[in-house]
Amino acid sequence: MASPSRSGVFAAETDQRLEAYAESITFDSRLYQQDIRGSIAHADMLRSVGLITEAEFTQIRSELEVIRGRLDRGELPLRFELEDIHMHVEQALIDATGDVGRKLHTARSRNDQVSTDVRMWIRETLDTIDELLVGLQRAFLSRCDEDFDVILPAYTHLQRAQPVLAPHYWLAYIEKFERDRGRVADCRARVNQSPLGIAAVAGTTLPIDRRQTAAALDFDGITANSLDTSSDRDFVLESSFVLSMIASHLSGWAEEWILWSTVEFDFIAIPQQFCTGSSIMPQKVNPDTLELTRGKSARVMGSLQTLMLLVKNLPLAYNRDLQEDKPPLFDAFDTTRAMLELATPIVAGAKLKRESIAARIEKGYLDATTLMEWMIRKGMPQRTAHHLVGAIVGAAMEKGVPLAELPLETLKELSSEIDESVFEVLGTKNAVAAFCSEGSTAPERVREQIAVWKRRLA
């Protein structure tokens, strides 16, 4: 059977190879809920402006509901010659209602229809992603009180840098995912403008009411320019960037915890429900979920690249290339959702290995910068103090001891400014307690931030 999109202008049948090449039903059938909802709103608008009768609308709506039920149950046969979900629904309507169904596509093109469906789909999925982000933030927050007394090394260049409270780490991730939530919200606002009624590219000569369909479909407004709208896939790219940023945050976190779970670090135990064994080495408990999170992030970022390349050379307006936006879009969402769903129980269930962390926390001179700032408070210029503390660290390395175990005489030999009150800032515990600036790991500041997030995530 010929596709209803093939008008009387065609004298030749479609080559079978083109049908298989051009179909999108194998992936866009997942838009059927949005497609049917959009069609009902469109038909309702056609009725209110007098383009179809009340009786025709009632018949179209009830048949579309029947078709939705058939799609729910997987009972609508999918056929390549009908190309996509939009033509499948319309053809099923025509099969059931004849000329009445032939009126549904009045003042509409697949170009505005597909954009409407995808925008509704993205909007719902962004809401799901937002809920998952909040769940993950709550998991990090749930650790903050119990881990409050654990001091961890902060790293720069993956070299030990300064001591921080464990909850300072958890709050760092909460901040990253909060920025992601902000991006989700910004993106959603741009997604949520109705393209319906721009028709193919120039609008329509028929007396439609775009604002009615926009309101019925919970859009915030209507797009302003038909030419722009017909070509626009910014909302697909932008949402895929938002997902890529989330994926990047998750991948960095996964990498960190993979390192932390090694014998070399031995900072954390990943819940065993999320680890796998080896088929040959009996001792192995591998962090595969985290490795897959790191790995799957590449798919999300790859989807963004695919989409960027897809649109970059397209002249206005709709081009069939745009059909290729859906596989990467769907994959990016599915992958990011799965990553978030697994990250949350791992974050909530992992255990810090307190003894192992404490056994090596005084290694690496995490308190050196605090000592330098103590000298600055005594009136020494920063560059002088920086140089001096370097020499003190050198002396401690030679003796193989932490700064707090250097004898006072040795310290005094290196600087006459030093007295025994210096020991009040040496050692990681004292060093952490000495912090005060806003945003720092000072225990008081961290406590304030935990309280802020408990309120915000309540």
- Per rule CB under 6 A, is residue 322 in the interface with ligand ARG? yes
* Stretch in the footprint of ligand ARG (CB under 6 A) among 109-117, 226-234, 441-449, 450-458: 109-117
- From residue 270 to residue 309, the character string flagging contacts with ligand ARG as x (rule: CB under 6 A) and all else as - is ----------------------------------------
Question: Hunting for tokens 């069609």 — which residue is that?
Answer: 39
Q: Looking only at residues 56 through 95 of this chain, which bind ligand ARG when binding is defined by CB under 6 A?
A: 83-84
Q: How many residues bind ligand ARG (CB under 6 A)?
A: 11
> Do 80 and 29 contact (CB within 8 A), yes or no?
no
Minimum CB distance to ligand ARG, residue 66 (Å): 23
* Stretch in the footprint of ligand ARG (CB under 6 A) among 203-211, 274-282, 315-323, 409-417: 315-323
Closer by beta carbon to ligand ARG, 28 or else 147: 28
- Per rule CB under 6 A, is residue 231 in the interface with ligand ARG? no
Provide the β-strand partners of residue 352: 268
Q: Phi/psi at 329 (nearest 5 deg)? A: -60, -50
Minimum CB distance to ligand ARG, residue 200 (Å): 7
- Per rule CB under 6 A, is residue 24 in the interface with ligand ARG? yes
Closer by beta carbon to ligand ARG, 24 or else 223: 24
* Stretch in the footprint of ligand ARG (CB under 6 A) among 6-14, 188-196, 314-322, 395-403: 314-322
Catalytic residue among 7, 157, 416, 437: 157
Active site residue 168: no
Closer by beta carbon to ligand ARG, 15 or else 54: 15
| List 91, 231, 323, 336, residue binding ligand ARG (CB under 6 A) | 323
- Per rule CB under 6 A, is residue 114 in the interface with ligand ARG? yes
- Per rule CB under 6 A, is residue 111 in the interface with ligand ARG? yes
- Per rule CB under 6 A, is residue 143 in the interface with ligand ARG? no
* Stretch in the footprint of ligand ARG (CB under 6 A) among 106-114, 238-246, 265-273, 276-284: 106-114
Residues that bind ligand ARG in the complex, under the rule CB under 6 A? 24, 28, 83-84, 110-111, 114, 318, 320, 322-323
Residue positions annotated with a catalytic role: 157, 278
